[in-house]
Amino acid sequence: MPPNLSVKLAPESPAGLTLANPVMTASGTFGYGTEYADVFDIQRLGAIVCKATTLAPREGNPQPRLVETAGGVLNSIGLQNIGVAAVIREKAPLWAKWRVPVIVNIAGDSITDYGKLAARLTGVKGVSGLEVNISCPNVSAGGAAFGARPDTAAAVTAAVRQATTLPVIVKLTPNTGDITAVAQACARAGADAVALINSVKGMAIDVAQRRPAIGSVTGGLSGPAIKPIALAMVYEVSGAVDVPVIGCGGIASAADALEFFMAGASAVQVGSATFANPRAALDVLEGIEAFMAKEGIKSLDEIIGCARK
Ligand X SMILES: Cc1cc2nc3c(=O)[nH]c(=O)nc-3n(C[C@H](O)[C@H](O)[C@H](O)COP(=O)(O)O)c2cc1C
Segment lying near ligand X (by CB under 6 A), choices 14-22, 91-99, 128-136, 292-300: 128-136
Among residues 218, 155, 229, 219, which one has the least CA distance to residue 186? 155
3-state secondary structure 39-74: CCCHHHCCEEECCCECCCCECCCCCCCEEEECCEEE
Instruction: Answer yes or no: are the C-beta atoms of 127 and 104 closer than 8 Å.
Output: yes
* Binding of ligand X by 47 (CB under 6 A): no
Segment lying near ligand X (by CB under 6 A), choices 84-92, 121-129, 232-240, 244-252: 244-252
Q: Which residues pair with 3 in a beta bridge?
A: none
Binding mask 54-93 for ligand X (x = CB under 6 A): -------------------x-x-x-x--------------
* Binding of ligand X by 26 (CB under 6 A): yes
Q: Give the count of beta carbons closer than 10 Å to the beta carbon of residue 32.
A: 21
* Binding of ligand X by 164 (CB under 6 A): no
**Shortest reach from residue 229's CB to ligand X, in Å:** 10
**Shortest reach from residue 81's CB to ligand X, in Å:** 7
Backbone angles phi, psi at 208, to 5 degrees: -65, -40
Segment lying near ligand X (by CB under 6 A), choices 181-189, 208-216, 246-254, 294-302: 246-254
Catalytic positions, please? 136
* Binding of ligand X by 27 (CB under 6 A): yes
Q: Which of 19, 24, 51, 91 binds ligand X (CB under 6 A)?
A: 51
**Shortest reach from residue 224's CB to ligand X, in Å:** 7
C-beta closer to ligand X: residue 29 or 184: 29
* Binding of ligand X by 250 (CB under 6 A): yes
Among residues 126, 136, 111, which one has the least CA distance to residue 218? 136
In the chain, the largest separation of any two C-alpha atoms, in whole Å, equals: 60
**Shortest reach from residue 73's CB to ligand X, in Å:** 6
Binding mask 177-206 for ligand X (x = CB under 6 A): ---------------------xx-------
Instruction: Answer yes or no: are the C-beta atoms of 78 and 65 closer than 8 Å.
Output: yes
Q: Which of 28, 46, 174, 202 binds ligand X (CB under 6 A)?
A: 28
* Binding of ligand X by 128 (CB under 6 A): no
Instruction: Answer yes or no: are the C-beta atoms of 220 and 199 closer than 8 Å.
Output: yes
Q: Which of 192, 249, 259, 264 binds ligand X (CB under 6 A)?
A: 249
Backbone angles phi, psi at 120, to 5 degrees: -60, -35
Segment lying near ligand X (by CB under 6 A), choices 24-32, 151-159, 235-243, 294-302: 24-32
* Binding of ligand X by 101 (CB under 6 A): no
Q: Which residues pair with 131 in a beta bridge?
A: 105, 169
Decide the pairing of beta strands 102-106 and 72-75.
Answer: unpaired
Q: How many residues bind ligand X (CB under 6 A)?
A: 28
Name which of residues 201 to 220 contact ligand X (CB under 6 A).
Answer: none
Residue of closest CB approach to ligand X: 28
Chain positions contacting ligand X, by CB under 6 A: 26-29, 51-52, 73, 75, 77, 79, 105, 133, 135-136, 171, 198-199, 222-223, 226, 248-251, 270-273
